[in-house]
Amino acid sequence: MTKISQIAIIMNDRSYEYDVYTLVIAFFQGIRTKVLDPGEDGAAQADLIVEARIDPERVFLQLCREREDAEEAGVTDESVLMPSVFETRNVALPEGADRSTVKNQVKRNLYEMLRKLCGRDLPWGSLTGIRPVKLAMQLLPEGASRAREQMQERYYVSPGKADLAVRIAQRERRILRGIGAGDGYSLYIGIPFCPSICLYCSFSSSPLNVWKDRVDEYLDALLLEMRSCRDFFSGKPLHTIYVGGGTPTTLSERQMDRLLCAVEDNFDLSGVLEFTVEAGRPDSITREKLQVLRGHPVTRISVNPQTMNQKTLDLIGRRHTVEDTVRAFETARALGFDNINMDLIVGLPGEGLEEVTHTMQMIEAMDPDDVTVHALALKRAARLALHMDEYEKISFHASDRIMELCEEACGRLGMSPYYLYRQKNMAGNFENVGYAKSGKAGLYNILIMEEVECILALGASGSTKIVTGDGRIERIENVKDIRNYLDRIDEMIGRKMASAPAYCH
């Protein structure tokens, strides 16, 4: 088959666009892919055309390659103009098939066709728009063994990934039952500043040096939102607090103390089970800032190296050293922090088995309580994705062996997996997995993934979630841009209060 550098997806029903598009790019990561309506120009330049025609009675799928243009080739044979068809599927739908049935038929058949074309399987099979652990949770009433079988048979999930999802679902279910999940709510506070912006980052954060003279102004707006919305979920106990970003420890000691004092003044913390501050970047962590955190009821922090290879840190724009990470971690331990998470990324440019092995050896030596292993996801906003051509000679590699190596290292530290989620464009089509020692699992991580509790989110980019009694989720979004947040803070507050649950009035 000719090397594929551009793909066109032709669809008559764009309501299934996400399902088809995400499955195609899972097989062809990094390949330019566009979705077209039937008859729309643009398919002629594609090396592969995926055609999906969906109607109430049947699903028609076809994979083909356009032949070269006859006029340009200087030939008169009309067959040159005809596409070269790899495979066609024409599947009848049961009468009155609902959307879920149609979607599953589309994805199952398209997966089988792409698998045959590419000669390989994906670790998570045809699963794209669903959280694997949530699916495993739904299947668990049939028994763990049956849940694994169903994930493999219905969605082509590999045996290892099906087992991972079921194990995590079992642990999550025990944890959620133990904390009475669903009765309370969580509080998220966003601090959208970072020491510098990493090459792979797509979060709505800004370099601190651009905003250093307006951080207090941001805190003024944030605390106004906090005071105005503190009773949003009145009547429900506050279960977890998560201060994230960005990098919260870009705040000065005074600013951090001001923020945490406001949390204590505005919320009843008597029922809080976990209070996390994502210290994050080691170059933002000082002994004085950690002492401020110790002066408040913070129970969990993150010290995030991403990698323990200095060459990679320099390449991706992490302006700290490996030694900075070790220093920050040891200082936190010495001050009495007994629940420290460390975030790692596999699939970073130039990192293979040797580099990841080195990182895990250093992590084992530090002995954190919680490790989250992320497979690199190149989102549209990341500079690394926008300038991928500059890194063509650098490998982006994740593999089963690398993921297994991370799990083995976490196992030697007494950790087991407790939460998992996936994103589009992940290296190797893998996943993000959180590992934790007994009693150290990040409760907020589980609650936000399983969407079983309400979340009050404050600050730029905050997304408040109201989980209704029938399982529906209503979202109230804050603007992402910091300037807009400052200028429109009254609007952000108004959005929440207009949508406040009935029991808040």
Taken in order of first residue, the domains within the chain and their CATH numbers are 1-99 (no CATH), 180-494 (3.80.30.20)
Top-confidence range, 26-40, 124-138, 291-305, 383-397 = 291-305
Distance CA 181, CA 452 (A): 7
Tell me the pLDDT tens digit for each residue of 6-22: 999 999 999 999 999 99
Task: Give me the phi and psi of 419, to 5 degrees please.
Answer: -155, 160
322's CB contacts (< 8 A; 6+ apart) are: 305, 308, 309, 310, 313, 362
Distance CA 439, CA 449 (A): 18
Average pLDDT in the 485-500 region? 93
223's CB contacts (< 8 A; 6+ apart) are: 258, 259, 262
Ranges 35-49, 61-75, 260-274, 292-306: which has the least confidence:
61-75
β-strands 48-54, 463-467 pairing? unpaired
Average pLDDT in the 80-98 region? 84
The long-range contacts involving 150-157, CB below 8 angstroms and separated by at least 24 positions, are 151/125, 152/125, 154/104, 154/108, 155/124, 155/125, 155/126, 155/127, 156/108, 156/111, 156/115, 156/121, 156/122, 156/125, 156/126, 157/123, 157/124, 157/125, 157/127, 157/132
Tell me the pLDDT tens digit for each residue of 175-184: 998 888 888 9
| pTM attached to this predicted model | 0.86
Burial class, 44, CB count within 10 angstroms (exposed 0-12 / middle 13-18 / buried 19+) = exposed
Burial class, 325, CB count within 10 angstroms (exposed 0-12 / middle 13-18 / buried 19+) = buried
Alpha carbon of residue 355 to chain centroid: 23
Nearest 5°: the CA angle 281, 282, 286 is 115
CA dihedral 254, 488, 381, 450 (to 10 degrees): 80
β-strand partners of 187: 241, 456
pLDDT category, 380, cuts 50, 70, 90?
very low
> Which pLDDT does position 207 carry in this prediction?
63
3's CB contacts (< 8 A; 6+ apart) are: 47
> Which pLDDT does position 364 carry in this prediction?
98
Q: Which of 218, 20, 193 is nearest to 105 (CA)?
A: 20
Distance CA 373, CA 411 (A): 13
